[in-house]
Amino acid sequence: MIPEPSPDTEPEQEPDPDPDPEPAATPGPRPRKERTENAARRRRQIIDATLRSIEKNGLAGTTLATVSREAGLSQGVAVFYFQNKQALLDAALRHLYAEYQATWQAALEAAGTDPVARLAALVRVDFTGDACSPRTLTLWHAFWGEASARPLYAEIAAAYDAEHGSAMRAAVAALTDDAEADRIADVLSAASDGYWTGMHLSQGAYPASEVLASLARLLAAFFPERAGALVRALTGDAP
């Protein structure tokens, strides 16, 4: 996986937007644990503001100034933690992928050991809750649209996608022979990506329930002997 810059290092003090020319006293250094926790909170605050700015303004319209306004901070504080716009966008993309990874991994863990439940969980999670919200889809497509021009975006995506792809292939392989697992996993991933794009562009023309019903039919075609269980797992309905 592409290493992410450590969030644990915080310089001793953020830039003061309103310095006091005659401080009453110089406080001693804060404990390292407190500095680390404060730095992590501040970085998260700035990353969340970056994602809100991208949603409103796109990548091109997102600047250190728009992020600072969203965060309610001075621009100097954003520079203090991320140095420049590109470093901030890189961190925002990593954060977006890390949240998605945590979501599908939690779904997989909750599914237990049943192979049908595990495959259904990986497919279903892409169309449940915030994973396919208009906001999330807008953010994904903003970054994906720049991936060909910015190699680091493509590298970050490839690192996270490889782990998700491996989990999908393992889930498929539990239901079929290894020779078919890669092909079926690739089809399922492509189908999810395609539906995400359709949902993003159509602004509601593809309800998640209808997408899951379509994917259930696809899985039933791949695994006819497990069709009933797969359809129920994805849609709650009988085939």
The 3-state secondary structure of 203-238, one letter per residue: CCCCCHHHHHHHHHHHHHHHCHHHHHHHHHHHHCCC
User: Model confidence over 135-154: pLDDT tens digits?
Assistant: 999 999 999 888 878 888 88
The ranges of the chain annotated as CATH 1.10.357.10 are 89-235
Q: Which CATH number fits domain 89-235: 2.40.50.140, 3.30.10.20, 1.10.8.60, 1.10.357.10?
A: 1.10.357.10
d(CA 227, CA 69): 51
**Is the pLDDT score of 238 beyond 60?**
no
Per-residue pLDDT, averaged over 197-216, amounts to 88
Per-residue pLDDT, averaged over 17-30, amounts to 50
Q: Could you tell me the pLDDT band of residue 194, with boundaries at 50, 70 and 90?
A: very high
The ranges of the chain annotated as CATH 1.10.10.60 are 12-19+29-83
Closest CA to 132 of 71, 221, 217, 202: 202
**Is the pLDDT score of 15 beyond 60?**
no
Q: How remote is the C-alpha of 235 from its chain's centroid?
A: 24
* pLDDT at residue 19, as a whole number: 46
Superfamily grouping for domain 12-19+29-83: Homeodomain-like (1.10.10.60)
